[in-house]
Amino acid sequence: MPVFYDIEVGSALMLGTAQYPSPAVLAEAFRAARPGIATVSLRREHGGGQDFWGLVQGLGAKILPNTAGCHSVKEAVTTAHMARELFNTRWIKLEVIGHSDTLQPDVFALVEAARILTDDGFEVFPYCTEDLTVCGRLVDAGCRVLMPWGAPIGSGLGINNAWGLRALRAHFPDLPLVVDAGIGLPSHAAEAMEMGYDAVLLNTAVAKAGDSVGMARAMALAVEAGRAAFLADPMEPRDMAAPSTPVIGKAFLA
């Protein structure tokens, strides 16, 4: 099971709580998937009030509040402080958006905000790109988890830069890494886990599926299968065919 800031969680699936057709569907999807972590936007919680907070508390997952929708260091830091008071946790998923269309992180502001929050006692989960230099700066700022995107938030495009994500995994072999954003299918989630990532975080793929509960269960199975495949040390791809049946000792007829 993945370990984040010395806390083990029960599943490598991290699931968001936004955009579901109803609170009942949200709760049922969580029961089907049993994710280890539930991400919650402070803005979303305010929209639902105490009823939503009570629902979140009953999901059976550790809460990871986020700074979704923030576009500046000041806004993200302020939101993080509000989340710490409301949810009584030092964990924060840090988002600082730099581009409105792609929702790509503003990596410069992200590093600055991460340093401020870490110095203030937060345990930061930064939503970032797969850039090795940026990730190195985030680690230097005190982050002990990295959450690179697979593709833009809500796009469902899957793993856009497999080479970059593999390079990041190789460069930080002992750091917990989470593919966050862009997962649209169970195969995308499995691919991330097969690369050796510790977890995947997704929301839209489940919330906007025709059957949110069925998709939640499928994602949970995919994450489990992908992790098992990684641990099984899969074979390397080959350019040439190789017979699966040995030819040594086989009778040859003239």
- pLDDT at residue 1 in the model: 86
pLDDT grade, residue 250 (50/70/90)? low
Rounded to whole angstroms, the Cα distance separating 36 from 34 reads 7
- pLDDT at residue 41 in the model: 87
For 13-35, how does the pLDDT look when each residue is reduced to its tens digit (9 = 90+)?
999 999 999 999 999 999 999 99
Q: Where are the domains of the chain?
A: 3-232
Rounded to whole angstroms, the Cα distance separating 194 from 73 reads 34
Residues belonging to the binding site for 1-deoxy-D-xylulose 5-phosphate are: 154, 181-182, 203-204
CB 123 within 8 Å of CB 173: no
The superfamily in CATH containing domain 3-232 is Aldolase class I (3.20.20.70)
The residues annotated with a catalytic role in the active site are 93
Rounded to whole angstroms, the Cα distance separating 200 from 181 reads 8
Residue owning tokens 């500046």: 72
Residues in CB range of 65: below 8 A, 6 or more apart: 39, 40, 41, 42, 80, 83, 84, 86, 87, 89, 91, 92, 93
Which one, of 142, 145, 201, 202, lies nearest residue 168 by Cα?
145
Does 47 have pLDDT greater than 60? Answer: no
- pLDDT at residue 208 in the model: 95
For 73-127, how does the pLDDT look when each residue is reduced to its tens digit (9 = 90+)?
999 999 999 999 988 899 999 999 998 888 899 999 999 999 999 999 999 999 9
Which one, of 59, 66, 5, lies nearest residue 36 by Cα?
59
Helices assigned H by DSSP within 92-183:
107-119, 132-140, 162-171
Which one, of 43, 42, 16, 19, lies nearest residue 30 by Cα?
16
For 175-228, how does the pLDDT look when each residue is reduced to its tens digit (9 = 90+)?
999 999 999 999 999 999 999 999 999 999 999 999 999 999 999 999 999 999
Q: What is the pTM of this model?
A: 0.89
